[in-house]
């Protein structure tokens, strides 16, 4: 799994699922051995070809704002 920081826009026509994730709840800190430089609140997108793309945010509020945009089909 590749770590992707903020700003990766994915065309809404190209994904099948989107969900919020937390770096620690997903145990990524154990896999990578770090805290992702404080970017612990994420949005995980499953693309139509079953790849996963993640965007990471420093705070839950910012992540949740972006997630709402995904849910409304704006991003």
Residues across the chain: 75
pLDDT given for residue 13 in this prediction: 55
Alpha carbons within 13 angstroms on the beta-carbon side of residue 43 total: 26
pTM of this prediction?
A: 0.75
Binned at pLDDT 50, 70 and 90, residue 66 comes out as very high
The CA–CA distances, whole Å, from 66 to 8, 10, 18, 49, 59 equal 11, 12, 11, 23, 11
pLDDT, tens digit, for every residue of 4-52? Answer: 444 445 555 566 788 999 999 999 999 999 999 999 999 998 888 888 8
CA dist 2 and 65 (Å) reads: 23
Which has the higher per-residue pLDDT, 57 or 7? 57
CA dist 68 and 24 (Å) reads: 22
């Amino acid at each position: 799994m590749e770590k992707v920081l903020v700003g990766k826009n994915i065309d809404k026509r190209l994904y099948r699922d989107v969900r919020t994730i937390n770096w620690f709840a997903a145990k990524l800190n154990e896999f990578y051995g770090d805290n992702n430089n404080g970017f612990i609140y994420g949005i995980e997108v499953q693309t139509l070809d079953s790849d996963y793309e993640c965007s990471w945010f420093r705070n839950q509020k910012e992540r949740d704002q972006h997630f709402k945009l995904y849910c409304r089909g704006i991003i």
